[in-house]
Chains A and B, each alone.
Chain A
Amino acid sequence: MAVKMFRKCPDSGLYFHKSAESLMKAHAVLGVVYLLIGGVLGLLVAATRAPSIHLLSAEAFYTALTAHGTAILIYWIIFFEIAVLYFASSTLLRCRPATPGLGWLGFLLMLIGSVMTMVAFARGNSSVMFTSYVPMPAEPIFYLGLILFAVGALIGCFIFLGTLVIAKREKTYDGSVPLVTFGAVTACIIAIFTIASGAAILLPTLLWSVGLISNIDPAIYRLFWWGMGHSSQQINVSAHVAVWYAIAAILFGARPMSEKVSRGAFLLYILFLQLASAHHLLVDAGISSTWKVFNTSYAMYLAVLASMIHGLTVPGAIEVAQRKKGYTNGLFEWLRKAPWGNPVFSGMFMSLIVFGFIGGITGVVMGTEQINLIIHNTIFVPGHFHATVAVGTTLAFMAITYFLIPVLFRRELIMPGMAKWQPYIFTAGMLLLILFMLGAGTLGVPRRHWDINFADAAMQYQFAGSAVAMMGVAGMGGILAAVGGGMFCLIAVGSLVFGRRLDPGASLFSSFGLPMADSCYNVETPDRLERTPIESTGSSGHAVEAKGTFVLALVFLASFVVYFFINAKYLSSLWKLG
């Protein structure tokens, strides 16, 4: 008799396979552990860059900043993304995961690798920043740790692809894979490219750090490193856009406005980001303008177009679903009457807005070849990527976690009142941090800098008082965001330990990756995943239009155009350069 390996979640109707479920939990929990570590480090960084607090010593600051970037940008996000891959393949397609044993090997490599780099940071000789630009050396265990982590993540990617093959062969679903899985496929393909770029440069750098290679060209290093460093952000984008679509479906039963458009936009991510490293090299010596202009944009910014499409189709899908439920008054009743008290929704929607309006616009503006001259390496840059990663990706992952705690972990959320406020507090803090970093960066304040008052320098330079004041406000924002992040970690971990069990088999250990009691798994083969029912068109016979979303999109476009030309104007005031 075949073993019963699946359980059906009574609340969501999702099927969880015993092995995939454990892998998902282990990856997600470790992700949150790194979010906590990285968040505490971020708090220290913010409190140091606020000139009035100036908390850490210079050495401690540079170490904390290196570890903050690595813990959040790599470990929190990629651990969570591997969990998303298991969810989007095994759970959504109702399929057993391919080679779960190897999944644990991948997990172990990621764990060991990440701990090795953290040890390297703690030893203090690898404070080389997240980018570790050669010829500044880190200890060999830093590079080795990153490589092991990447190999582990690569195993996770291939298991995801293997699971898709099994699902197809065993016909666990009808038709094409769901859109969310399609988005996860995009993330997975980009991840493989990312890891290949990383391997191409980190392996020689490891050999260099132990003395087997005499020299790594620092300009070539930058090209390949950003092939990893930026493409990895494109993994995040694909993954969090998939999460947006998932949340829209979970909360509103929203279907994509058109499958073709949404999938086409994901495809654009795969096709048009390969040289995403280009826009990090816009003010580098030795690369021609032609190369820079073409490769940042591929002649027409098609990856940007893809994000602009998702920016319309995700809220558009929600609007259509809401309008069908009767929220048809005016342009925005669908949005006003959305469940703003549910952190799954509020987190997801604020992630979308901040990612698009702030992260997206600032990213494209500073990715314009000449405008980069007034932005490169200023604190504008972290302002930009906190909008994309800290709010865009992280807040989307926080939002889906609130859904996963009862469904995947079978625990009731503790402190639901606090959970309701958490996305708002986190976003408010992040907005202060981001907007004032963008402002200070526009006034020239450098990133990765311990003392913008230059107390120990041989000369003096005084930044504008407003720039110093803005760094103070940004620091306060960082502290508030850390409070919001801390609330999330408290609620998430607290629920896994103390939350009421929604299933008697959900033991303490099962919250952290062990399977639940055998009795929980009572399904041998889940029902086949059927296609979405054919859509009923409204009484008029016409499709419901998302007019409100279109207006939001036009507001977005207007902000984009205005902000772009403000920066072009600013650029034109500079010294003549040619």
Chain B
Amino acid sequence: MSLTPPSQILWWKEPIHRIEITWIIIALAWCLVLFLWMPYWHVFGNQNLSNEAYRIKPEAFEAKAKAMADKYTVRKETKMDIPVVKPPAGSDVYLVSRMWQWWPILELEKDKSYRLHISSLDWQHGLSIQPVNINAQIIPGYELVMNVTPNQTGEYGVVCNEFCGVGHHTMLGKIYVK
């Protein structure tokens, strides 16, 4: 019984039930598949989070984002006059997260690639591009560089899905793909 000591002193020499060993082999094989799928997807899959990241001071990141916005702003939207920035395909695009805003609004072209840089100026935030459902943790002091190629046109919401204070649920940004 499980509440009493094993009946054999040398319990590690007892035989194993046939279904136990069969199951262990099947389960281990599946666990290996699960592991191997990850390197497989790095080679053959198209959705991998890049390993490119830098340490950066919030002020330095903000300055880079401002420089991009100054250069490529095409119009302003919302009551807060948030710039809509249309950077050329293939360029470096900056997305600032801070309480409680994703800044600026981006306008990207379908099937064109961009180097999307994201960092936080204050607390941790959660990048969540909807409805396509791409999520990443945004950590202050770290600049994440993702290579993105939007494959469908539309208007995407950028939700914050890491709790960042009492205005967290008002933190919403936008990406246009045209």
Contacts and interface: CB of A to CB of B under 8 A. Distances in A.
Given A136-B124, A259-B8, 8 more contacts: A175-B5, A258-B14, A286-B55, A305-B28, A448-B163, A458-B82, A545-B18, A561-B30
Interface of A: 58-59, 62, 92, 127-129, 133, 135-136, 173-180, 217-219, 222, 245-246, 248-250, 253-263, 281-286, 288-289, 293, 297, 299-302, 304-305, 308-309, 312-313, 316-317, 364, 368-370, 372-378, 442-444, 446-452, 454, 456-461, 463-464, 529-535, 543, 545-547, 549-550, 553, 557, 560-561, 564, 568, 571-572, 574-578
A432 to B, nearest CB: 23
Given A250-B3, A529-B5, A464 B160 contact: no
Contact of A299 (B35, B136, B140): B35
B51 to A, nearest CB: 5
B142 to A, nearest CB: 4
Contact of B31 (A283, A305, A317): A305
A449 B79 contact: no
A288 B51 contact: yes
B16 A577 contact: no
B90 to A, nearest CB: 14
Contacts of B149: 575-577
B83 to A, nearest CB: 13
A459 B165 CA distance: 19
Interface residues of B, number: 95
Contact of A572 (B46, B49, B132): B46
Contacts of A443: 131, 133
A262 B136 CA distance: 38
18 contacts: A133-B123, A136-B163, A176-B6, A246-B2, A258-B15, A260-B12, A260-B16, A283-B49, A369-B38, A376-B126, A377-B126, A378-B128, A461-B172, A532-B4, A571-B47, A572-B46, A574-B132, A577-B46
Contacts of B168: 62, 448-450
Contact of B47 (A309, A373, A449): A373
Interface string B27-41: 110111011011101
B2 A254 contact: yes
Contacts of A135: 122-123, 140
A136 B100 CA distance: 14
Interface string B104-144: 00000000010000000011101010111111111111111
A289 B42 contact: yes
Given A377-B135, A549-B19, A58 B166 contact: yes
Most interface-central of A174, A443, A444, A549 (chain B CB within 10 A)? A444
Nearest to A286: B53
A153 to B, nearest CB: 25
B132 A575 contact: yes
Interface of B: 1-9, 11-20, 22-24, 26-28, 30-32, 34-35, 37-39, 41-42, 45-51, 53, 55, 77-80, 82, 101, 113, 122-124, 126, 128, 130-144, 146-152, 157, 159-174
A529 B4 contact: yes
Q: 6 nearest interchain CB pairs?
A: A461-B157, A446-B161, A285-B144, A576-B149, A175-B5, A301-B31
B32 to A, nearest CB: 5
Nearest to A547: B19
Contacts of A313: 20
A259 B11 contact: yes
Contacts of A377: 126, 128, 135, 137, 161-162
A463 B131 contact: yes
Contacts of A460: 172
B2 A444 contact: no
Contact of A219 (B5, B22, B139, B150): B139
Given A284-B137, A297-B34, A575 B2 contact: no
Most interface-central of A175, A546, A561, A564 (chain B CB within 10 A)? A175
Contacts of A574: 46-47, 132-134, 151
A302 B28 CA distance: 8
A180 B3 contact: yes
A215 B172 CA distance: 28
Interface of A is mostly: loop
A263 B13 CA distance: 13
Given A289-B48, A532-B5, A368 B38 contact: yes
A461 to B, nearest CB: 3
B127 to A, nearest CB: 9
B126 A178 contact: no
A312 B16 contact: no
Given A136-B123, A532-B6, A286 B139 contact: yes
Contacts of A258: 14-17, 20
Contacts of A372: 135
Contacts of B152: 575
A461 B130 contact: yes
A575 B134 contact: yes
B170 A456 contact: yes
Contacts of A375: 135
Contacts of A368: 34, 37-38
A568 B34 CA distance: 11
A434 to B, nearest CB: 19
Nearest to B26: A557
A553 B26 CA distance: 10
A136 B140 CA distance: 11
Contacts of B163: 62, 128-129, 136, 448-449
Contacts of B37: 368, 564, 568
Contacts of A174: 5
Contact of B9 (A175, A297, A571): A175
